[in-house]
Structure 1
Amino acid sequence: MRVTGLIGVYSDPDHVIAYDDGEVRQQFALSFSAELLGGELERSDESPDIRWVADNELDELPMHPSIRLRVDHGFEDRAEPDIG
């Protein structure tokens, strides 16, 4: 796979995780576009079900709204990344 661009940087200042040991974190995610160069899809402990889907199949998939936003931004082929 070859990375072709940055889709966006995603974070929510209202979503802060405080651990019992006093550590506090604000999560963020970087979403990239990429070109498939070869290989095979492989499952993992974090991704037990994987497959390629067309954009018109996305509404049928259970997906958290924050993830769907990132996927939609990827399909929009924006000139600039979302940094919200």
Structure 2
Amino acid sequence: MNDVSPRVPGYTRHEYGDRIGATAKLRVGATAAVLDGDRLLLTRRSDNGEWCFPGGGIDPGERPAETAEREVFEETGLSVRVTGLLGVYSDPDVVVAYPDGNRVQILGILFRAEAVDGSAGCSAEVSEVGWFTAEEASRLTVIANHRRLLPSAFGDATPYFDRPST
């Protein structure tokens, strides 16, 4: 099943289905939840118009926390320092399908991070940035792999992980 929610035409989309991840490659990434008081930094992706945590793929020879810090800076210009682990996520029922034909199941690591220097802005990958309360974030179109992480990002004491289905 394809995701039919609003998108920028011709860009990244999501496919859904029982264990559809078995038909795709596995990609490992890291993201960061950066809070300023009760507001969370989210970025609007330029490739599909949806909101997400800043983050991206882990490069060979790189620690996941380094990836999260690098990706926040590359995507927003904000320097951050990772301060903790918030969760690990991967949904075998969701595949990210890219315009070039690549299809991946994401295995992601969500970190807590604090701003160190600079301010968040846009980049080639990010068309908009915003700082949102939990209530405001709940009304945004957040990418499939990140929506369920919002409670952990806003301070749920339990680290997030995808529980096996029973």
Same fold (TM over 0.5): yes
Aligned to 1:6: 85
Q: Return 5+ residue gaps in structure 1 as ranges.
A: 18-22
Given the superposition, is the C-alpha separation of residues 42 and 73 from structure 1 closer, same or farther in structure 2, using an over 3 Å criterion? same
RMSD: 2.6
Aligned to 2:125: 46
Give SS of 1:63's match: coil
Q: Counterpart amino acid of 2:161?
A: I
More strand by share: 2
> CA offsets per residue over residues 39-78 of structure 1, 9 Å max, x none?
1112122211111112221122112343111122111342
Q: Counterpart amino acid of 2:127?
A: P
Alpha-carbon distance in structure 1 between the residues aligned to 2:93 and 2:144 = 16
Give SS of 1:50's match: strand
Identity in percent: 35
Greater relative CO, 1 or 2 (CA 8 Å, sep 6+):
1
Give SS of 1:66's match: helix
Q: Which stretches of structure 1, 4 residues or more, deviate above 6 A after TM superposition?
A: none
Aligned to 2:160: 82
